[in-house]
Structure 1
């Protein structure tokens, strides 16, 4: 696997800093130190805190598209439905799991003070909602699946694991889809 670019390492450090220490503690110096680059190196790629935020938001948009593509591929192969994928991946651990999960946690933490982050989070959720509506054939059912997935996601952020919702994805989906 190729080594991440300096730009990617800086965004990774920004995500890690926001997730671990909170958005209110972000400084360019802190992100540069965490990325193992000089402040000048950081400024070469991101000329300001706003540019750094934009870099994170670009990443989340790309990761949302890639995540949906992965779910589509699994659904087309008959491995799992897109709703199953959405629920299962909502239970990832932000401390150890996917870059997408951690990036979204960072965006959600930033959304309280950064409208661009809030807009990106809403756009990601809307993209997933559209996919779920396409699969279920019903906007309300899609919204229910998304809301349950969002709740699982929030519980995962808080460190809660092994709830009745996450013990058996098929049973959870059957209940949501009214097949029980």
Structure 2
């Protein structure tokens, strides 16, 4: 969808005023920018005197959330690995008992192997989780970076088009002045 005026953009963001633009809505705004008329996007951005600070705050909030997710995940993973280790120690202790039949030994060895497989599976799931979390953080950081690039690029583009218009003056135009 192409956005050609501010009201369309506010409606798409679900806000009544630019003062209602939260950090979450700022990310959505950044994602919408490629579909916005450049002049409209620049006009909106100019309404935010601390636009860069706002974008950086959004990135900082994402980073803190990411760090707390990683810390909680690490603690959870340590707990899982410790639990599997304790189970294997108990099974080893049972395996070392005297007088076990071949079937009992075989069962205990299979249980030790099963805990290894389960732990490996949990580790693989964790790596997929971390990969997904990293992708989300990169997407968010990319959106914030895109905001900055669009803002700076738009200003440069606006300034260069102003100077291009000045250079298009013909010698007759300057004589008329």
TM-score scaled to structure 2, two decimals?
A: 0.35
Q: Which has the higher helix share?
A: 2
Structure ID, larger Rg: 2
TM-score scaled to structure 1, two decimals?
A: 0.35
Which structure has more relative contact order (CA 8 Å, sep 6+)? It is 2
